[in-house]
Every structure is written in C-alpha cells, then in structure tokens.
Amino acid sequence: MCGIAGYIGKRNFNKNTIKSLLQLMKKRGPDNQKYLKKKTNNKKYLNFFFSRLSILDIKGRSNQPFKYKNLILIFNGEIYNYKELKILLEKKGYNFSTQSDTEVLIKSIHCWGLNSFKKFEGMWSLAYHDTTKNKTIFCRDRFGEKPLLYILKKDEIYFAS
C-alpha cells in the first residue's frame, strides 16, 4: 500500500531533505512520489509527503497530495464503501473526475466534516489540512489496521503511516 509522512512546524526542509525522504518512501509506493510544502497562516510549514502504489484509478489524476477547494489530503489505505458514498455525494451535487476512493474521501470530508469518519468502512490513515480554518486533522481506522505514528516536539509534529 501507499505511504504518507509529514511535518508541521517552523523548519523549512530543503530540496535534498525532501528528495531523501521521498526516496526512503519509494518502496511503500513505487508508482508516484509527490510532496506539498505550504506556509500556513501562523507562519509554520506544512509538509505532506506521499508515495503511491496505484490500485484504484491508476491514472495520475488520483495522485496525492489531493486537493479539493480548501482541503489538502494524504491518505494511506482503502475505503471499502467508497462507491456507495460516491452515490450519496452525487445526489448532493458533487461531481467526480476520478474513480478513486481518495476523491470520495476528500469530498466526504468537505460535505460532512468530522462526521464523515463515521461513514467510512475500511482501513486508513490520513492527514488533511483545511486552508480556510488553518487546521490539520489526523485520523486512522477504528482498529488501527493502518497505523498512524507521530512525534510531538514543542511546536512541531512529525507523522507517518
């Protein structure tokens, strides 16, 4: 499966550090490696790293970090009931450009907020950032099938799955 990692804090990673980290993650997902670095409203750096093993919708349009409106998502796992959730979201007016559970996941969060996690059936570990609220949320599945490891250090957080 895929691999995710990230950092939120005042450190500004250089290109060599980013390249090294993505290289370490390559075995978790050899099909695509990407990252997003963004300065937040409170002058911290948000860094999302992703390594993809393509299973659902193998086209590049489903690569992560995945953005939708004010949300940025990285996600490791699989949402088993994504097709059912997609139908519910389409009835609410959402359109889809991929066949991935990633797009369903981010649009579910956009539609239902934190309540969306009650609707998911599957195994996952994720981080998403809301650029409007300047807030990052971390979540893993109920049974911890996809682990979410983190280190809190003063005003920094490092995380991975």
Catalytic residues: 2
- The residues near 84 (Cβ < 8 Å, ≥ 6 apart) are none
Q: Which residue has the tokens 């990407």?
A: 34
Residue 152 phi/psi, 5-degree rounding, is -100, 130
Pairing of strands 3-9, 66-68: unpaired
- The residues near 116 (Cβ < 8 Å, ≥ 6 apart) are 105, 108, 109
Pairing of strands 66-68, 122-130: unpaired
